Structure 1
Amino acid sequence: MSEFGDLRISDTLTVPGWELSEAFVRASGPGGQHVNKVSTAVQLTWSVDASSLPAEIKARFQKLYGPRITNDGRIILESGEHRSQLLNRQAVRERLVAMILKASIQPKRRVKTKPTQGSVRRRIAAKKRRGEIKSLRGSIDRTED
């Protein structure tokens, strides 16, 4: 495990480096001898619950990525797509930044709208037509003939 510098999300948001921890593991896939002997893949672990982010961003993050968060409130991201440890570190950090940025965007509130008078009239007329059709299905009273 190693500690590294602060993770800058935006001008106002920063995750301190002490909140993040990373472990280097052997990557899988093609690469021959290099991939078998060098730990280039990176596992980044971040505790969402213990982070210094504002509460509303933490709540949105947990709502968005709830299934990916472990029972102890941590999110574990892995990157092993590059042959270089440095590129994998950058890739996994960029992925975490993108996730936090997505959680920091406040969703737009839905504006309630009322149906137009014309659409209400058309709906009522269609219901009356349908009711008329259903009333004609009944048995015919032949006593008046």
Structure 2
Amino acid sequence: MLKISNTVELADWEIQITQTRAQGAGGQNVNKVASAVHLRFDILHSTLPPFYKERLMALSDQRISKDGIVVIKAQSFRTLELNRDDALQRLKELIQSAVKQQKARRATRPTRASQRRRVDRKTQKGKTKALRGKVQL
């Protein structure tokens, strides 16, 4: 079970994890073999609430395909368990970021004091600029 929020959990059968072994590219670390994990999650056939599904499908994320399949690759750790946990954590963060509501910001008017300060600064700049290059007596 992967707990997304207090009310939403994903069952183990919904998340498919395949284990692969990735050979390091050239260079000095040619002999290093990383234990990579590919996580596959189908949004449309999951038990997520419809609101979550809509928000996830609307995300512009390269890990989400057009048919609603999320593929996350994790290979930054040496062990399979750590890579598996990392992939699950990234899936959880992806779902949470899709559902997170933006707080509505109320447009605030500047206070009278801040308007006065702004005008004072502008006039000061103008005075010093006008005096530049002139001889003072």
Higher strand share: 2
Identity among equivalent pairs (%): 32
CA contact (8 A) 1:28 1:80 kept: no
Alpha-carbon spacing, 1:42–1:114, altered in 2? closer, same or farther (3 Å)? closer
Q: Which residue of 1 aligns with 2:91?
A: 96
Q: Secondary structure at the match of 2:55?
A: helix
Deviation at 1:71, TM superposition (A): 3.6
In 2: Cα distance, 1:96 partner to 1:66 partner:
12
What SS does the aligned partner of 1:27 have? strand
Cα distance in 1, alignment partners of residues 11 and 91 from structure 2: 13
Q: Does 1:77 align with 2:72?
A: yes
The residue number in structure 2 matching 1:137 is: none
Q: 3-state SS of the aligned residue for 1:108?
A: coil
Indicate the SS of the match to 1:107. Answer: coil
Aligned partner of 2:57 in structure 1 is 62
Cα 1:102–1:9 shift into 2, 3 Å: same
**TM-score normalised by L of structure 1:** 0.63
Offset of residue 67 of structure 1: 4.0
Residues 110 and 58 (structure 1 numbering): CA distance in 2 closer, same or farther, change over 3 Å? farther
Offset at residue 19 of structure 1 (A): 0.8
Q: Is the 8 A contact 2:63 2:72 kept in 1?
A: no
The total of aligned residue pairs comes to 108
CA–CA separation in structure 2 for the residues paired with 1:97 and 1:70: 17
The answer to whether the 8 A contact 2:4-2:10 is kept is yes
Structure ID, larger Rg: 1
**Judging changes above 3 Å, is the alpha-carbon distance between structure 1 residues 115 and 28 closer, same or farther for their aligned structure 2 residues?**
same
RMSD of aligned C-alpha atoms?
A: 2.5
Runs of 4+ in 1 over 4 A off after TM superposition: 113-116
- Structure 2: runs of 5 or more not aligned: 111-137
- Asked if 2 retains the 8 angstrom alpha-carbon contact of 1:60 and 1:104, the reply is yes
Q: Decide whether aligned partners of structure 1 residues 71 and 105 sit closer, same or farther in structure 2, where only a CA change above 3 A counts.
A: closer
For 1:42 and 1:115, locate their aligned partners in 2 and report how far apart those are by CA, in whole Å: 52
Q: Distance in 2 between matches of 1:115 and 1:101?
A: 33
Secondary structure of the corresponding residue to residue 40 of structure 1: strand
1:49 equivalent in structure 2:
44
Residue ranges of structure 1 left out of the alignment (5+ in a row): 1-5, 117-145
